[in-house]
Amino acid sequence: SQTIHQWPATLVQPVGSPLSLECTVEGTSNPNLYWYRQAAGRGLQLLFYSVGIGQISSEVPQNLSASRPQDRQFILSSKKLLLSDSGFYLCAWRREDTGELFFGEGSRLTVL
């Protein structure tokens, strides 16, 4: 069966520091992968999605970037964090036949 993992689960970072969140999927090949962010009390905002290695689509302009160095690895990065980057970051993979998304456990980022 397919599983998806994210890490770290929680982090507190100062403004201006870099960020790297990792996500890996097991049990499926060439999945569509997604990064969403959920601000406190808000809905899920799609940040990036990837349909294959090295292919990244960005949904909103921001100081975040994503990379997909391997088929089942998706990384979210920032060179310099802003206060507004605080939130709950969720990685997801898409089941091809049904379009359903399945999420990792999430990474909760607080920027101080």
Partner 1 sequence: RKEVEQDPGPFNVPEGATVAFNCTYSNSASQSFFWYRQDCRKEPKLLMSVYSSGNEDGRFTAQLNRASQYISLLIRDSKLSDSATYLCAVNHNDYKLSFGAGTTVTVRA
Q: What is the DSSP letter of 99?
A: -
Residue 111 Cβ vs partner 1, minimum distance, rounded to whole Å: 18
- The answer to whether the CB of 101 falls within 8 A of the CB of 34 is yes
Nearer to partner 1, 49 or 64 (CB): 49
Where along the sequence are the contacts to partner 1 (CB under 8 A)? 32, 34, 36, 42-44, 46, 49, 51, 57, 59, 88, 90, 94, 98-106, 108
Nearer to partner 1, 57 or 70 (CB): 57
Which backbone phi and psi does 83 adopt, to 5 degrees?
-55, -40
Residue 88 Cβ vs partner 1, minimum distance, rounded to whole Å: 8
Residue 16 Cβ vs partner 1, minimum distance, rounded to whole Å: 26
What CA–CA distances, in Å, run from 111 to 5, 66, 81, 97, 103?
22, 19, 7, 38, 23
